[in-house]
Amino acid sequence: MKLDETIALLRQGKHVSEETVFELCLRAQELLMNEANVTHVDTPVTICGDIHGQLHDLLTLFDKSGGVENNKYIFLGDFVDRGFYSLESFLLLLTYKLRYPDRVTMIRGNHETRQITKVYGFYDEIVRKYGNSNVWRYCCEVFDYLSLGAIINGRVFCVHGGLSPDVTTINQIRAIDRKQEVPHEGAMCDLLWSDPDEVSTWSLSPRGAGFLFGKNEVDQFLHTNDFELIARAHQLVMEGYKEMFDGGLVTVWSAPNYCYRCGNVAAVLRIEDTLDRNYMIFEAVPAQDDVGNAIIPSKKPQMDYFL
Amino acid sequence: MVKMTQDGVRETDSKRVKVYILEDNEWKDTGTGFCVGKVGEIDVLTPVVGVRDEEPGSLAAYLVVNDEGSPDKTLLWSKLEGNIEYQRQEETLIVWKDLSGQDIALSFEESTGCDALCDFIIQIQQTTETNISLIAVRSNDDGMGSVHEIITGPVNLPSNEMEQDEKSLMDALKIFNENMAFEYLRTGTIDFVLKSAYLLTLIHIFENAESKHRLRELLLLSNIVKTLTLYNHRDVLEQMVDDEHIVGIVGILEYDTEFPLSKANHRDYLLQAGPHFKEVVPLKSEEIKTIMKKTYRLQFLKDVVLVRFLDDHTFSMISDVILDSQNCIIDFIQTEPFLQRVMSLFEIDTEMEKKRDGVRMLHQCVQITKNLEHAEKSRFFKALVRAGLFKIFDFAFSMETDSGIRILATDMVISIIEHDILLINTVQNEHLHQTGLMDQGQRQSDGTLTLAQSSASSDISLLSILSQILIADKNMGLKEQVVQALNTLLHPEGCMGIDSDYNEPGNMDIIMGSDDQPSNGSGENPVMNNLSLQMKEYFNNFYTQVAPILFGPLMKSGQNNSDEDILLIYLVKLVSFVAAEHSRLVSREFILEHNILANISKLIASPHILQLQLTAVRCLKGIVSLNDDIYHKHMISNNLYQPIFDLLRRNLHNDNMANSCLLDFFKTIASQSLRAKELCSGESMNFILLNKHLVENFREDLMAVSCVPFAQEMIRINDTEEEPHNWEISRNKKTTKDVVKRTFSEVSESLGSSTEVKEEEVTSTFKKAMEKLAAAPAPKSIGKDFLGNGT
């Protein structure tokens, strides 16, 4: 398979054949299996939050932050759902990873599951684009292989949602067989679903999965593991990012004008060799096709109809 | 006294009221009397403030209060005129400022009195004084602030002129936005839009503006149409998509303020580039054609044209309209001879492409039933099967070579069996009963019979065909789907039937209940017994006829080449599934007789892809968790765990998925063994023995696992094991039920202080994890053991 050709197709939001997707997914599995549940990454690296199928904003993200050819990226999950280009966004990251294996780290988000994608758009998008759901199945299989977290220089812990009462040390995450649909409770679920909040201890989450955790939990986790920062995504931040708990935790959000109407800006966080944090803010810009014509993001209309 | 005026406004009865006026910022009580709303000739003697433009002698409306003590004394004589805004505050107050600037309040004795006068004001507003208004003001539930609601008043409406400029369009947009805030104004606005062909006006202005490239007007028009959709009114929406309006409306919506420099091409798409409405067999009803077009256009509006704009309310309103139309369509298809005509495409010598379109069309029917209610779905699916759905499967799985079409056919099978696994067979069955064709010989078909000929609930020809596709077909997408279909068809719970058309609720329990519980009276239900028998037969047929083919690749030892790895992943997962879900007796006999576990164990090695190796590990782990004596003995005596430790050695120092998968395996064994020790019960003896086996044979390997405590735990548990005879004694003393759950540390203590693992090494979270696992119910033997009844 010619990765560069596929990358070009995906960047233009063009159709990629079912067979190509299958092969791509299989090769991605092989790559992802060699990664730990919590993988180690070196600086400098750019941390990116939720993408949610906003392909054109993802392209902007790469443009403005230097591009995958020269930089390392960690994506904190939620590649799919909501936006109209879930498949292209997810596959683009996957092909980039195959093409530049050491430059892209992908962490699983709470949307990377069969159950959630059936409701929030990815499944429908696939049926619309392919007339059947096979490609959705291939992608869901890859979701099961995605890492649950990452650690930068041993000092920054990256995760989609947040902390779990079942996880005090990183080795406890190691003993999870992550190849499964995200369970409804337990460490794996919490890592993908929890949120920070002004609470004094573990509290019930209004989301119905994961927990709310506060400064105490964050301080303790940072201390125990000798970390200085938890970088997570999972919540819309109008300003693109938000630090909490005296800078011990940051939420990074990378889908500008979320759902094409929230009016928020997006951010990515670059962690330098000195562990300095550099935030880069970017806005949604009008999408363009390969020859510079503006295009309006929309769903692909239904195919032939008989009814 | 004249009760009726020429406008038909009736004078009100008199209502007791107190009259207040505002003086120096204080409400002053001017007396109590009776209030009427009356219409009469303009009284030239009444002092009139402001401009008087009425002719003397013309009619006007008044609120009049006469003193209750001296009826001749008039406390209030106030004309309803100009743009006076009357406020009804709470239940009994009407407050307004008249044209002279005087604030007046009427406080009614009863709310019904207030109602009567408010009705009078509404009538006057709607007949003669259209510029006055009545607003209801209520305090919020929390007592803070108040809610205003327009009861009646003038509705500001946009111009309906055919020629309009930027300014009038701007005004129109402003008006639509303002009117949206109040129900009363919304209704008035919608009335106007529907009754005065306003959409056509907009389309006319649009065509004009587009031909003259007036971008600002085009963008305004687009915003007006979008705002109208937010009124969330079904009739307006349906008007937008009818033949007269659709092209103009989507044309207007091609312009978007968010993308002022570009334009969408919705009209092109609808008129040329896009899909055209196809008729596989001619539709005789124009009405249904219209509904089909409408449905498609609404979907286009929802998914493409307005997709970035719709709020949740409008989105669900459009979805509701679509759903209603789909219901109509599905109804139509069933009641007309339409379906039969579609099916006949597959009987006669129709050209291939026509048949393919037939499959595509039926697939679309099945797709749209996704949103229908359960009973509606059942009805439609039954109609499909009765009309001869199996002819389509025969076509797709035998004559057809195009994978795309076969995938659609499989997708239909999945939709139907996931809805109700019994439906297909039961309808076939009912048909055969009617025609007296119930033939035992046919049921024993070896697969050479076509599906359409086969019969009975215990029929396994669908299973057999799907299995052959999985084994032989090269198309990955098809395999993927077939596996899903097999999983559904082989699910015993599904097979017990959920569709209440066939079974009473609770039948599941009756069937699940075994023959050794005759007291529940289940044996008296002949229908259920019959069903139960059929299920037994169905699964027996599966294991004798289909399983040997399906699991064939796992029954050969060591001959698998790595080309088959993807297929083997599917099969190994299926083994895990049937071992866990089917009658233990039947599935285990099959699995052990064909040496399947040993062959799965051999897959944990190169050259098989790592995905398959780990799937095999997980399968063995799943079997271990079943806590089944016979499986445990089989796996230990055949040394099936050896490859797992070979895999461990290859990945010991890699932090990767293989390593995590194995750690998870050790975690399971450690916690289950610990639990067994805690309970001192025979129930989990299997884990103690397994732990012993593993520690004795692979101690070095386990010692080497240092990053998590589980492997060391296994060794410690084994090394501190009590003598077997003690086990027997303690087992007699304690039963599972009276053991109180204890924490890990307590258990550790009770296991003896000779432990070499220091307490500190076991982190608190590990303790918690152990507690959790210990608290969880043991993997119980399958309760749904209905195939093994009476054993």
- Residue in chain B closest to A257 (alpha carbons) equals B308
Edge to edge, the sheet with strand A249-252 lists: A38-41, A149-152, A156-158, A229-232, A249-252, A241-244
Q: Which of A59-63, B21-25, B149-153, B453-457 has the highest mean pLDDT?
A: A59-63
Alpha-carbon gap, residue A98 to B578, rounded angstroms: 36
Domain boundary assignment for chain B: 15-152, 166-335, 554-625, 641-791
- Give how many domains chain A has, as a whole number: 1
In whole angstroms, how far apart are CA B193 and each of A68, B152, B254?
53, 19, 21
Residue reference for tokens 């092209």? B247
> What are the tokens at B519?
């007291």
CA distance A189 to chain B (A): 15
- Cβ atoms of B457 and B425 within 8 Å: the answer is yes
Alpha-carbon gap, residue A230 to A244, rounded angstroms: 10
Beta strand A156-158 with A104-106: parallel, antiparallel or unpaired?
unpaired
Which amino acid, one-letter code, is at B656? N
Does the distance separating the beta carbons of A32 and B663 come in below 8 Å?
A: no
Instruction: Label residue B254 exposed, middle or buried (CB < 10 Å: 0-12, 13-18, 19+).
Output: buried
- Cβ atoms of B145 and B193 within 8 Å: the answer is no
Residues in B closer than 8 angstroms to A134, CB to CB, are: 407, 476-477, 480-481
Does the distance separating the beta carbons of A304 and B278 come in below 8 Å?
A: yes
What's the mean pLDDT in A162-181? Answer: 95
Alpha-carbon gap, residue B653 to B659, rounded angstroms: 8
**What is the per-residue DSSP string for B125-147?**
HHHT-TT-EEEEEEE-TTSSSEE
- Tell me the ipTM for this assembly: 0.93
In whole angstroms, how far apart are CA A13 and each of A53, B37, B301, B487?
11, 69, 21, 34
Helix (H) or strand (E) holding A75: strand A73-75
Does the distance separating the beta carbons of B710 and A305 come in below 8 Å?
A: no
Residues of A with active-site annotation: 111
**pLDDT at residue B49 greater than cutoff 70:** no
Does the distance separating the beta carbons of A33 and B610 come in below 8 Å?
A: yes
Which of B480, B659, B767 would you mutate first to test chain A, the one with the most A CBs within 10 A? B480
Output the pTM of the full model: 0.79
Question: Is B365 touching A (CB cutoff 8 A)?
Answer: yes
CA distance B104 to chain A (A): 47
CA distance B77 to chain A (A): 55
**pLDDT at residue B567 greater than cutoff 60:** yes
Question: Is B411 touching A (CB cutoff 8 A)?
Answer: yes
**What is the per-residue DSSP string for B15-76?**
EEEEEEEEETTEEEEEEEEEEEEEEEE--TTS---S---SPTT-EEEEEEEEESSSTTSEEE
Question: Closest Cα partner for B385 from B393, B397, B375, B396?
Answer: B393
**pLDDT at residue B293 greater than cutoff 90:** no
Q: For residue B499, what pLDDT is reported?
A: 40
CA distance B488 to chain A (A): 16
Residue A185: CATH number of its domain: 3.60.21.10
Which amino acid, one-letter code, is at B92? T
- Cβ atoms of B266 and B285 within 8 Å: the answer is no
- The beta-carbon neighbor of B660 closest among A37, A128, A260 is A37
Alpha-carbon gap, residue A100 to A68, rounded angstroms: 8
In whole angstroms, how far apart are CA B255 and each of B214, B235, B241, B248, B309?
11, 24, 18, 12, 13
How confident is residue B247, by pLDDT bands cut at 50, 70 and 90? Answer: very high
Per-residue pLDDT tens digits for B465-478: 889 889 988 888 88
Chain A to chain B Cβ contacts (< 8 Å): 152
**pLDDT at residue A253 greater than cutoff 70:** yes
From the options 3.30.70.270, 2.30.29.30, 3.50.30.60, 3.40.50.300, give the CATH code of B15-152.
2.30.29.30
**pLDDT at residue B69 greater than cutoff 70:** yes
> What are the tokens at B435?
């025609």
Does the distance separating the beta carbons of A168 and B764 come in below 8 Å?
A: yes
Does the distance separating the beta carbons of A286 and B261 come in below 8 Å?
A: yes
What's the mean pLDDT in B516-523? Answer: 41
Average pLDDT, chain B: 79
Question: Is B487 touching A (CB cutoff 8 A)?
Answer: no
Residues in B closer than 8 angstroms to A133, CB to CB, are: 411
Cβ contacts of A69 within 8 Å, gap of 6 or more: A100
Q: For residue B455, what pLDDT is reported?
A: 44
- Least confident residue range of A34-48, A285-299, B157-171, B717-731: B717-731
What is the Rg, in whole angstroms, of the alpha carbon atoms belonging to chain A? 18
Beta strand A73-75 with A45-48: parallel, antiparallel or unpaired?
parallel
Which amino acid, one-letter code, is at B788? G
- Cβ atoms of B630 and B588 within 8 Å: the answer is yes
- Residue in chain A closest to B710 (alpha carbons) equals A175
How confident is residue B303, by pLDDT bands cut at 50, 70 and 90? Answer: confident
Helix (H) or strand (E) holding B264: none
Does the distance separating the beta carbons of A307 and B660 come in below 8 Å?
A: no
Alpha-carbon gap, residue A10 to A4, rounded angstroms: 10
Does the distance separating the beta carbons of A36 and B660 come in below 8 Å?
A: yes
Q: For residue B2, what pLDDT is reported?
A: 33
